[in-house]
Structure 1
């Protein structure tokens, strides 16, 4: 067991949630929530399902999550040392950092030229996907359930038949005529 008395998977989850919350912050889920810093109102990447997206086989990250969480905590320990913050073994190292320090560390890890940039940028992009697209859910169901990211971005639900139609043109004019082989669903025959 880690010094902060969390089983391995809980420690990994806390670290990955803290990373996701650094990418798209949200509000704390409960008063003692340490993974979510609580610097924003409403739900962020964690509430949007970042862990579900990271753990999807399609993301390609699932086999690496244990190692990424451990590496992030090592980077956080080094960050604490470099900034004379002292040790804090009450939670995983990244989780113990204040939000501003989490953000500074993530910025360092994702800067051009950092040798691990591809890993951390990939992790950040997947956290964004959870919020921006609900990649782990069917869009109509996510909207019906009030998905925090899709709602915040102004996605509207499909028409009653489950198809999205956009009768108002964004440029206030039709840009092209429908292809003659377009069927009622909007696909080409």
Structure 2
């Protein structure tokens, strides 16, 4: 990947994170069809390395089964990455290819025989996937910003159900929100927090505060 490509890709990933900050990606369905199954498998393995979960079916190779319960893949990591509302989808094959190239180099230096029917990163044992991903975040790694932003998007899928309406995600038992204990809304679909985090208000309400909570 050339230096220009890296800059453009990082801008694209950063823009995707900014879009997610504006609200859930609920206006159009997410699809991985245009990315290709080979790249999706690599991205699933990357997401599962960050937040591992149990296998979806016997022989599920992208998910290593390193943890019980659902992980990032079950929480919708691929749905977030491939959402039509984000500008990331055209870059995902390149990102997956870059990750597989790193996996091939890792396998060569560690004398690991990779299965030819799976992407290189998918073929790595989980311990080696984890060690490789740890190295991707090394301060000296040229592509570190790319992996950091990609990891942020994966984390948002698990921690916030970024591709779903929050109320619907909770009602449907989204695994990430359930894991972190995100509270259900009140009966009218709104969240209210009568208990302050320190069990007391941090400051008195300003007398000119509007009904919406804005300063006058």
TM-score normalised by L of structure 2: 0.78
Indicate conservation of the 8 Å contact 2:114/2:124, yes or no.
no
Aligned match for 1:111, one of 135, 138, 144: 138
Indicate conservation of the 8 Å contact 2:161/2:177, yes or no.
yes
Matched, 1:134 2:174: no
Indicate conservation of the 8 Å contact 1:59/1:126, yes or no.
no
Hey, what's the Cα distance between the residues in 2 that align with 1:146 and 1:177? 37
Matched, 1:11 2:41: no
1:182 positional shift:
4.3
Matched, 1:176 2:203: yes
Hey, what's the Cα distance between the residues in 2 that align with 1:165 and 1:87? 52
Indicate conservation of the 8 Å contact 2:114/2:123, yes or no.
no
User: 1:39 is matched with which residue?
Assistant: 66
Matched, 1:72 2:91: no
Q: Secondary structure at the match of 1:158?
A: coil
Hey, what's the Cα distance between the residues in 1 that align with 2:144 and 2:86? 17
Hey, what's the Cα distance between the residues in 1 that align with 2:213 and 2:80? 28
Hey, what's the Cα distance between the residues in 2 that align with 1:99 and 1:13? 17
Structure 2 gap ranges (5+): 1-34
User: 1:89 is matched with which residue?
Assistant: 116
Q: Secondary structure at the match of 1:46?
A: coil
* 1:21-40 matched pairs, under 5 angstroms: 21-40=48-67
Q: Which moved more, 1:8-17 or 1:152-161?
A: 8-17
User: 2:179 is matched with which residue?
Assistant: 152
Hey, what's the Cα distance between the residues in 2 that align with 1:86 and 1:40? 24
Hey, what's the Cα distance between the residues in 2 that align with 1:144 and 1:87? 41
User: 1:62 is matched with which residue?
Assistant: 89
Structure 1 gap ranges (5+): 1-7
Matched length: 180
Q: Return the structure number with greater relative CO, CA threshold 8 A, min gap 6.
A: 2
With over 3 angstroms needed to count, the CA separation of the structure-2 counterparts of 1:177 and 1:58, relative to structure 1, is farther
TM-score normalised by L of structure 1: 0.88
With over 3 angstroms needed to count, the CA separation of the structure-2 counterparts of 1:21 and 1:115, relative to structure 1, is same
User: 1:52 is matched with which residue?
Assistant: 79
